[in-house]
Chain A
Amino acid sequence: MRLENVWLRYHRRGPWVLRDVDVRIGPGEVAVVLGRNGVGKSTLLQVAAGVLRPGRGRVVDRPARVGWVPERFPADQPFTVSGYLTGMARVAGLGSSAADKAVTTWTQRLGLDAFSSVRLPELSKGTAQKVGLAQAMLRRPGLLVLDEPWEGLDATTRELVPELIDEVLADGGTVLVSDHRGETVRLPAARRWSVAAGVLTEETAPTGEEAVAVVEVAVPAARVASTVARLRAEGHQILRVRADTSITAPQARPAAAPLRPTGEPALDQPEGADAVEQAAGEAR
């Protein structure tokens, strides 16, 4: 698939959101779209998915089946989870039994079984996001476009996203994904497209000794200050310290590793982090 000299603006006299974007991506490749808020990441993804039509330029060789996971799933619909997914499976061209099978498979994989009969407006943000993920995967897409797919997901499902991406890639599909949480370091083979002021540039990933990964480590709250100090003394860079109430025994998750590239500050701060922050502050 190729975006050929794509320009896009939302209004005739408005500013260009994308400027002369010319980029190619092939089957089996994944690209991460990076950039600050409002620079055009979602716009670029929507152009690639076929949601938005470029004002100038064109998109060629887009795979026939596209799965798009929007940044916010539209939960304001009068369907239950299973009713919605079955409907979308049929819309995607699956027959009745194939649709049922696909819905069963993806509700189970994404942990949506318990919500099958729950109406979409009653879902939490994270669960609704899972429904958004499921609808894109019901029929294996040739192009999977994920707009901030990790947003609001629980730890288990966050781990599942790279798995789904790998499955699409293994089938010869192409994946585009945006992320501002730094979760995409879980995709070490991904190309990195940086968007700034509507212009796309491809970053060269650091290799060898320059390569950096982020390891998330759970430690008892009482030992935060000493651990931070020790790690810093060993030359590691501390990106952030946060509370994680989902972990009761730190030892149970020794290597949960949402990896984050150095230099990308964490933007979110879970509730309940104050106490840990205070402890960490002593070490800063």
Chain B
Amino acid sequence: MTALVRMRLAGFLRTGRALAPLLAGLVVLGTLYGGGRSQPAEAYGVSAVVLFPVLAWQTRILLDIEPDVQRRLAQVTVGVARERLAGLLAAGVAALVAVAVALLFPWLVGGVTGPVEPGDRSVPVGIALGLWAHLLAVPAAVALGALASRASVGGAAYGVAVLALGGVGAVALGLRGSVAPWLVPPIMATARTTAGDAAALTLLGLTLWAVAWSAAVTVGYLWRRRAQG
């Protein structure tokens, strides 16, 4: 299965279509950090929010690059479960690379600052919280992107609709006072937490929420794949 993950990543990188989400990510990060300096935890919380739809889009591109017949060849060779898992893992690896870029980016452009006032978080704690916020976004974005992929929804228009609904919904339904925040992954709640009081129980709760949401959407993806044959 590792070989299939490598092959799919190689296909993604060699087509040049990896450039589009990379550039989009750099644009949103540039816009985010162009407005001034902020402390790492706060900056990274927002960074995870803006990266969420980009990572989902990247996942969809990665999975859609492979021709349908080639995906079936892989399925025949390694089996149904491993073929599905390899796609998700390849997308996860690509997302982690993007996260690494996102974590480094503000240091390269001077977008972050250390503690300013007494009581501010230290830089390592801020980075740790930022890493956590991004890692919560990765499985959710991969699951959403997979659900929007051609193998899952069939037509390109449906895929775009799923991506748009997921991306916009994550922000709109994630606002404070939302009537159904559990319908979307907790990326907005995570950003609020990293900017404010990050109690251990809150972090645990958000982590479980993100894992449960990602698992539910992944099950939806696998169900769609099964239904598509």
Contacts and interface: CB of A to CB of B under 8 A. Distances in A.
Given A52-B229, A53-B226, A91 B11 contact: no
A171 to B, nearest CB: 18
B69 interface: yes
A87 B3 contact: yes
Contacts of B104: none
A70 B229 CA distance: 16
Contact of A91 (B66, B69, B77): B77
Contacts of B6: 87, 90
Contacts of A77: 11, 66-67, 70
Contacts of B3: 87, 90-91
A76 B15 CA distance: 10
Contact of A51 (B7, B14, B76, B78): B76
A52 B80 CA distance: 10
A193 interface: no
A66 B229 contact: no
A82 interface: no
Interface residues of B, number: 24
A135 B73 contact: yes
Given A87-B7, A91-B3, A50 B74 contact: no
Interface string A34-47: 00000000000010
Nearest to A8: B229
Given A79-B11, A79-B14, A87-B3, A51 B67 contact: no
12 contacts: A49-B76, A50-B79, A51-B75, A68-B73, A74-B70, A76-B67, A77-B70, A78-B14, A88-B7, A91-B4, A92-B78, A135-B73
Interface of A: 10, 46, 49-53, 66-68, 70, 72-74, 76-79, 87-88, 90-92, 135
Interface of B: 3-4, 6-7, 10-11, 14-15, 66-70, 72-80, 226, 229
